[in-house]
Structures are given as C-alpha cells and as structure tokens.
C-alpha cells in the first residue's frame, strides 16, 4: 500500500479558477491485481480549459506521461513509458485501457511527447493549419497565442511552408522569443495596443489564414483584415474561458460575407487519418531543428494548482508542464 497525492476540483468556479477551488488530496493505492499495472506519473500536461463536464469532488484529468512501476499485465513491462489521460495524480492503478506505449527517441526529450508530438498540441496545430485551413505556400498567416503550446507549433509549421507569419502573444519576452528563436516574421504584444491596429500595421497584405486560439478581440481584428477567400481555423477561444458560460463576443462577423471567408472549428477527429504523417513530419522537423520548442515546468504535485491558474495568466512560454519525477 502506498499514498498518492492528487489534485481535486473542490468546487466549480464561476469565472476564473482560484486556488481555493482546488485541493491536494492523499489517496491510498493498493498493489496491482492480475491484469493491472501501477503507474508513477513523471510529467503532467496543463490544459487551458477545464472539462466542462467535470464536477466538484473529481480528480482533475489531463494528459500525462508515466512509468510502469509494477506490472501484472503481459502487455506492459516494468520501466515502460506510457502516455494517458490520468494526469494530476502521482501514482495510480490501471487495467491497461487508455494507455499508449511511447518509445522516446533518445535524442528528443520526454517533454516533447506532451507538446510538439502530442495529440492535443502538435497534432492540433498540424491538422488545424494544414488540413482545416488548407494552407498554401507563401500565404499571409496570423496565429494567436503564438507563444503558447499549440500556437508556437502552428506558427512554425506555417514558416516551414514558406508563409509570411505574424503571431500575437501576451508579453514582450514572448515577442522576442517568437522573432529570434521561432523565426516568425513579426510578433506583437496584444496587451500593448489594440489587436486590429497592430494587425493593420504588421499585415499590410491582409490575412489569408488566421489560426484562432483566442476569439474575442483577436477574431474581430483578424476578420477586419481577412483577404477574399481567407480561412479562419478556430482551434479555441481562450478569451472567453474565464467568462461564466464561456462566451466570446465577435462584432466583425459580417466581414466574412463579401470576402467569402470560411470559419471552421475543429478537433483531432477531423484529421485523425493524418496521425502517422504528422508523427513522421514532426519528428523530422524536431530533429533537424526546424521546430523550436520551449517548456515551462513547475516541480511537484503541490505546484499543479498554481500551474493551472498561471497558464491562464500567460506565465508559460511554450507548453506548461508539471514534473513529478524523473
Ligand atoms: N480544438 C481542439 O481540439 C483543441 C485542443 C487543444 C487546445 N485547443 C485550444 O488551443 C488554444 C491554446 O491551447 P494551449 O494548450 O496551447 O495553451 P497555451 O497557449 O500554451 O496557454 C494558454 C495561453 O493563452 C493565453 N491567454 C490566456 N488568456 C488570454 C486572453 N484572454 N486573451 C488572449 N490570450 C490569452 C496566455 O498567453 P499570452 O496571454 O501570454 O499570449 C496563455 O499562455 C486554446 O484555445 C485551447 O482551447 C484546442
């Protein structure tokens, strides 16, 4: 018998999540029975949105990478690394369902399996920009939350495809990283001046593709600059996530009529057939340094609630992770 700490939702927040909405709770974990494995989580992915179906008293869920510490299941050996959705807990028992074995390339750090090579970051960016937005070489591309996990990858894929790429982000430090490390043509801090005006200055040839992670003023500003037959791939609307009901207000939607702009929301289900192609392309781009990645890592389960809250405040450059063990 051992003890595991986990992060529980104590009450559903009305608006922004606060520290008192979450608690660290200890739970006893038994030895695995026949057919089961005991997993110790190493790295937790911190997502920007809470599952809307989650109710008070439940353990937070999220992507994670763990190591099999004890196995009584023939499909898993002790020491195997697995990715799964049982994050925000130190140790747990599984019957093997929902576990995917990962065989990390020795030259890539484990964290990329929760970021550039993960379904909820790298693959969303890849499928969203290439399949949903149907990106063409040389187009004018705008990506919001470009300093974050999904945005930083989407923006760099557009650069690889020979596009002119502008990113928005929430700090001057992230603007610098986007221009000097990630190689974007331009980046701006959306907190310094209205989005619409900054887009007008930095994208004088208009926008062919907008990869939207934010909604609200970003979507409005982009709609004002969209070119004829432009495409808006709607990945998320984070500006509304802390609003009760998750609303986002858009005023310039009518611009889509005469400019014949397509707006399309998406999930990985729309391009799951591209998974193998994605893994092969992304591994190559990571290896040859064409995709740069950065992680912001908090240490220990006690820091997980802060990581969730700080992510919404923009404390992360690249992917926000919590490290529980090496
Ligand atoms: N469609 C799908 O299936 C799918 C799957 C995964 C993720 N997503 C979406 O992808 C987006 C990015 O997710 P992620 O995991 O990569 O998170 P992330 O970008 O790494 O982190 C969230 C970032 O959002 C920015 N932000 C917070 N509040 C904001 C506001 N009011 N206005 C503008 N920016 C704000 C913050 O950065 P700065 O303020 O510093 O820029 C923060 O760092 C989210 O909208 C998410 O819902 C969609």
Q: List the chain pLDDT tens, one digit each, 326 residues.
A: 899 999 999 998 888 889 999 999 999 999 999 999 999 999 999 999 777 777 889 999 999 999 999 999 999 999 999 999 999 999 999 999 999 999 877 789 999 999 999 999 999 999 999 999 999 999 999 999 999 999 999 999 999 999 999 999 999 999 999 999 999 999 999 999 999 999 999 999 999 999 999 999 999 999 999 999 999 999 999 998 887 766 778 888 999 999 999 999 999 999 999 999 999 999 999 999 999 999 999 999 999 999 999 999 999 999 999 999 99
Cα separation values, 103 from 79, 108, 109, 167, 181, Å: 11, 11, 11, 33, 28
What is the residue-wise DSSP string for 107-167? TS-GGGGGTTTSIIIIIHHHIIIIIIS---TT-EEEESSTTBHHHHHHHHHHHHTT-EEEE
| Distance of alpha carbon 231 from the chain centroid | 21
Rounded-to-10 torsion of CA 241, 218, 209, 318: -60
Please list the residue range(s) of the chain that carry CATH number 3.40.50.720: 119-271
Residue 238 CA to ligand 1 centre (angstroms): 5
Q: Does 215 sit in the ligand 1 pocket, CB within 6 Å?
A: no
CATH 3.90.180.10 positions along the chain are 2-115+294-323
CATH superfamily of 2-115+294-323: Medium-chain alcohol dehydrogenases, catalytic domain (3.90.180.10)
Question: What are φ and ψ of residue 289, in 5° steps?
Answer: 75, 15
Does the beta carbon of 150 sit less than 6 angstroms from any atom of ligand 1?
A: yes
Instruction: Provide the pLDDT for residue 146.
Output: 98
**CB 42 near ligand 1, within 6 Å:** no
Whose alpha carbon is nearest atom 5 of ligand 1? 120
Q: Is 246 in the pocket of ligand 1 (CB under 6 A)?
A: no
Instruction: Report the first-to-last Cα separation within the chain, whole angstroms.
Output: 22
Ligand 1 centroid to Cα of residue 284, in Å, is 25
pLDDT, residue 53, reads 73
**CA geometry: angle 203, 233, 12, nearest 5 deg:** 115
Ligand 1 atom with the shortest distance to the CA of 319: 20
* Nearby residues of 176 by Cβ (< 8 Å), 6 or more positions away: none
In short, whether 124's Cβ falls inside 6 Å of ligand 1 is yes
What is the pLDDT at residue 246?
Answer: 65
Q: What pLDDT shows up at residue 175?
A: 98
Fold entry, domain 119-271 = Rossmann fold (3.40.50)
Question: What is the DSSP-derived secondary structure letter of residue 280?
Answer: H
**Quick one: which of 213, 63, 194 has its CA closest to 153?**
213
Rounded Cα gap, residues 91 and 27, in angstroms: 9
Q: Is 316 in the pocket of ligand 1 (CB under 6 A)?
A: yes
How much distance in Å is there from the Cα of 308 to the middle of ligand 1? Answer: 12
CA of residue 190 to ligand 1 center, whole Å: 14
CA of 95 from ligand 1 middle (Å) equals: 33
């Amino acid at each position: 018998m051992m003890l595991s700490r986990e992060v529980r939702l104590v009450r559903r927040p009305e608006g922004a999540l606060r520290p008192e909405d979450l608690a660290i709770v200890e739970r006893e974990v038994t030895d695995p029975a026949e057919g089961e494995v005991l997993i110790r989580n190493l790295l937790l992915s911190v997502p920007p949105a809470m599952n809307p179906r989650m109710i008070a008293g439940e353990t937070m869920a999220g992507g994670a990478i763990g190591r099999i510490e004890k196995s009584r299941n023939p499909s898993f050996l002790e020491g195997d690394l697995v990715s799964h959705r049982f994050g925000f807990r130190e140790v747990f028992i599984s019957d093997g369902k929902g576990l995917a074995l990962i065989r990390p390339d020795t030259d890539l750090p484990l964290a990329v399996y929760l970021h550039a090579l993960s379904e909820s970051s790298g693959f969303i960016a890849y499928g969203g920009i290439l399949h949903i937005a149907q990106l063409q070489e040389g187009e004018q591309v705008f990506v919001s939350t470009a300093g974050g996990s999904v945005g930083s990858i989407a923006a760099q894929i557009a650069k690889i495809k020979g596009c002119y790429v502008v990113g928005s982000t929430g700090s001057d430090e992230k603007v610098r990283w986007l221009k000097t490390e990630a190689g974007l043509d331009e980046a701006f801090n959306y907190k310094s001046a209205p989005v619409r005006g900054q887009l007008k200055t930095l994208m004088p040839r208009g926008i062919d593709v907008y990869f939207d992670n934010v909604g609200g003023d970003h979507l409005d500003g982009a709609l004002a600059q969209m070119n004829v037959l432009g495409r808006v791939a709607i990945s998320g609307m984070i500006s509304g996530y802390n609003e009760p009901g998750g609303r986002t207000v858009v005023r310039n939607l009518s611009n889509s009529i005469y400019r014949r702009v397509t707006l399309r929301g998406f999930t990985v289900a729309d391009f799951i057939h591209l998974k193998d192609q994605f893994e092969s392309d992304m591994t190559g781009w990571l290896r040859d340094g064409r995709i740069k990645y950065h992680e912001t890592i908090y240490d220990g389960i006690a820091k997980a609630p802060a990581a969730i809250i700080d992510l919404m405040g923009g404390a992360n450059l690249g992917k926000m992770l919590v490290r529980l063990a090496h």
